[in-house]
Chains A and B, each alone.
Chain A
Amino acid sequence: MSAPLLAVEGLDVTFPVMPRGAWPWTRPAGLQAVSKADLTLERGETLGLVGESGSGKSTLARAVIGTVPATDGRVMWKGRDITALGPASRRKLGREVQMVFQDPLAALNPRMNVGQIVAEPLATHTDLSAKERRTRVSEMMERVGLLPNLVNRYPHEFSGGQCQRIGIARALVTEPELLICDEPVSALDVSVQAQVVNLLAGLQRDMGLSMLFIAHDLSVVRHISTRIAVMYLGRIVETAPAEALVTDPRHPYTKALIASVPIPDPVRERARSRPVLEGELPSPLNPPSGCVFRTRCPIARPDCAEARPPLVQEVPGHRVACPYHDRGGPV
């Protein structure tokens, strides 16, 4: 069996943060944005990564593309540990792994026109002549649904949806193998969201892309993912095939997430019971001991404060980080 395309193994990302008003010589506190995360992504697969705001999804993605350093653990790309690479070989990976960002306009340099923006990865990784680059850029723009004669325009002249298309064109112009989409539609109008998601799904099919698709709720992710991982306060709490995760959620947090997705039918919507999550996301500076979800968990028990529950495979392909989820209510 060959190594998976991407494997994240025990990844930790800790940011040093200074408490407010601290003396310059105090040791900075560690903010654990990602803690012992394990993920694998096979070729051609779309892995959805879901969690509320601040759960560390973007940080995990950044650790994969190398814009934040991993504090511990490894990121394996085709079986090779890329966290240990030197800067030059690390840069070469930009051709194979690309990212689409959350804020479409902020991800485009305001001083470059669209042609220059989309051509940049080509200029970085290929020896194509300027003319060949222009051809490739026009092709790519057409594929993402932009007219190629817009190459002389600047980002501020476009709508959010169009900016996101430009970002997608830039990410795909070197034909990468993995595309990381960090909440690519959450900043867009609802009417445009579906267009962009469909575009991504279509491009993935046509180009044989693998995708890591990040979102803060399940409604977008469930349609285009083959598998879904749920993240809470820097920890991965459940991973399963998309279908299984939605129909048979096991972790109490996943159950709450699914309950928060509205059902289109208003009668059933009103009739169902909704275990709404109470309380706030705890501070990642001072996470609860043991299971980090216990402060909001409807079935928490005293043992939950003892040790961090490991991510255990219960059914092939379905892993859950809660030993008590099938034991009913609190004891």
Chain B
Amino acid sequence: MRTATLTDASALATAPKGRSLLADARRRFFRNRAAVGGVVVLALIAAFALVGPWIAPWDYEEIDWAVLGSVETMGRPSLETGHWFGTDQLGRDLFARTVQGTQISLMVGIVGALIAVVVGTLYGAVAGYFGGRVDGAMMRVVDVLMSIPYMFVLILLLVVFGRSILMLFVGIGLISWLDMARIARGQTLALRGKEFVEAAIATGVHPFRIILRHIVPNLLGVIIVYATLLVPSMIIYESFISFLGLGVQEPLTSWGALINDGAAEMRNGTSWQLLFPLGFFVAGLFAFFFIGDGLRDALDPKDR
């Protein structure tokens, strides 16, 4: 009988290198054209944000006095003046400003989503894993926080602690972890009934180790997908707050702030002020959307 069992196992012995689910997922992801396109676009945008300051002939807060007053004609996008994307209404170089706004928007989006995901996942996983009264209390806190209008909280934070990018990160991140916590909790409840979790409990693994080794890795698919979809919504939040005048402070800017400025001047025949930032905004959001979509397909173990 021993020999029989060994031969049936040796059938697999030809390829001793393991392919993890994540390795499989990576392969599937890179077969998805739209997702790869999203990655390329995002990489270009990131490169633009990183390299832009080095190649831009103008600084983002420098006013070109020659242009001021006749922006509609002099401030057009042109290679000669060095204003590749034109200038804004105050005669500042739009290329440099778009670079700067891209940096801020990406940072707000990514850092905000990161805070939301880390806090939300751990909170939700703990609530879902322990269940019962712990879960009840923790989720009531989420309900209460959710019922407070997030804009109100954010505005309060910005007013009380002063306007700063750090505050913006903290504020947006702290509000948006609530959804993540709910999602993570729901998934954890389902995972908790799985036999591999029961096996770990029966083995005597410490609860926090179970959460980190068994629950969270199995939430990864949902987390990654949610995170990539969260980044654009963070960017949109930030734009909204900038519109209220509570976002980034002049002369710093962001996609949202640039779009709002551009939109306000649209009737003056300076459409480039809207179109350049809007193009980046749309391209960026679509890129994140396609990546999120591709990740969801790649990580879904059901259609392996």
Q: Give the distance in Å from the alpha carbon of A46 to the alpha carbon of B51 in the complex.
A: 71
Q: Are B200 and A120 in contact (CB under 8 A)?
A: yes
Q: Are B203 and A157 in contact (CB under 8 A)?
A: no
Query: With A101-B199, A111-B217, A150-B16 in contact, is A162–B205 under 8 Å at CB?
Result: no
The residue of chain A having its C-beta at the shortest distance from the C-beta of B209 within the complex is A124
Query: With A98-B202, A109-B196 in contact, is A147–B9 under 8 Å at CB?
Result: yes
What per-residue 1/0 map shows which CB atoms of A156-184 lie under 8 Å from chain B?
Answer: 11100110010100100000000000000
Q: Is A145 an interface residue (CB 8 A)?
A: yes
Residues of chain B within 8 A of A250, CB atoms compared: none
Q: Are A67 and B1 in contact (CB under 8 A)?
A: no
Stretch at the interface among A17-25, A89-97, A293-301, A310-318: A89-97
Q: Give the distance in Å from the alpha carbon of A92 to the alpha carbon of B203 in the complex.
A: 8
Which range holds the interface residue count of chain A? 35 or more
Residues of chain B within 8 A of A111, CB atoms compared: 20-21, 214, 217-218, 220
Q: Give the distance in Å from the alpha carbon of A146 to the alpha carbon of B209 in the complex.
A: 27
What per-residue 1/0 map shows which CB atoms of B11-30 lie under 8 Å from chain A?
Answer: 01100111111000000000
Q: Are B202 and A145 in contact (CB under 8 A)?
A: no
Residues of chain B within 8 A of A157, CB atoms compared: 12, 18-19
Q: Is A135 an interface residue (CB 8 A)?
A: no
Q: Give the distance in Å from the alpha carbon of A138 to the alpha carbon of B164 in the complex.
A: 56
A127 to chain B, nearest CB (A): 15
Q: Are B20 and A154 in contact (CB under 8 A)?
A: yes
Q: Are A150 and B9 in contact (CB under 8 A)?
A: yes
Contacting B at CB under 8 A, from A120-156, are 120-121, 124-125, 145-147, 149-154, 156
Q: Are A110 and B201 in contact (CB under 8 A)?
A: no
A89 to chain B, nearest CB (A): 10
Query: With A109-B214, A110-B21, A156-B21 in contact, is A99–B204 under 8 Å at CB?
Result: no
Q: Are A112 and B301 in contact (CB under 8 A)?
A: no
Q: Give the distance in Å from the alpha carbon of A93 to the alpha carbon of B205 in the complex.
A: 11
Q: Is B213 an interface residue (CB 8 A)?
A: yes
Q: Give the distance in Å from the alpha carbon of A161 to the alpha carbon of B42 in the complex.
A: 45
Query: With A91-B206, A150-B13, A157-B18 in contact, is A107–B8 under 8 Å at CB?
Result: no
Q: Give the distance in Å from the alpha carbon of A152 to the alpha carbon of B201 in the complex.
A: 24
Contacting B at CB under 8 A, from A41-96, are 62, 65-67, 90-95
The residue of chain B having its C-beta at the shortest distance from the C-beta of A87 within the complex is B207
The residue of chain A having its C-beta at the shortest distance from the C-beta of B197 within the complex is A109
Query: With A94-B204, A124-B205 in contact, is A108–B13 under 8 Å at CB?
Result: no
Residues of chain B within 8 A of A92, CB atoms compared: 204
27 cross-chain CB contacts under 8 A: A65-B202, A92-B204, A98-B203, A106-B195, A107-B196, A107-B199, A109-B196, A109-B217, A109-B218, A111-B217, A112-B217, A120-B205, A124-B204, A124-B205, A145-B6, A146-B9, A153-B12, A153-B19, A157-B12, A157-B18, A157-B19, A161-B8, A162-B9, A165-B9, A167-B199, A195-B8, A202-B1
Binding site for B on A (CB under 8 A): 62, 65-67, 90-95, 97-99, 101-103, 106-114, 120-121, 124-125, 145-147, 149-154, 156-158, 161-162, 165, 167, 170, 195, 198-199, 202
Query: Can you list the 6 inter-chain pairs with the closest CB atoms, starting with the nearest?
Result: A94-B204, A145-B5, A152-B18, A91-B204, A111-B217, A153-B18
16 other A-B residue contacts (CB within 8 Å) besides A145-B6, A154-B21: A66-B201, A90-B204, A94-B202, A97-B202, A101-B195, A107-B195, A109-B196, A109-B214, A147-B9, A147-B13, A150-B13, A154-B20, A165-B5, A170-B199, A195-B1, A202-B1
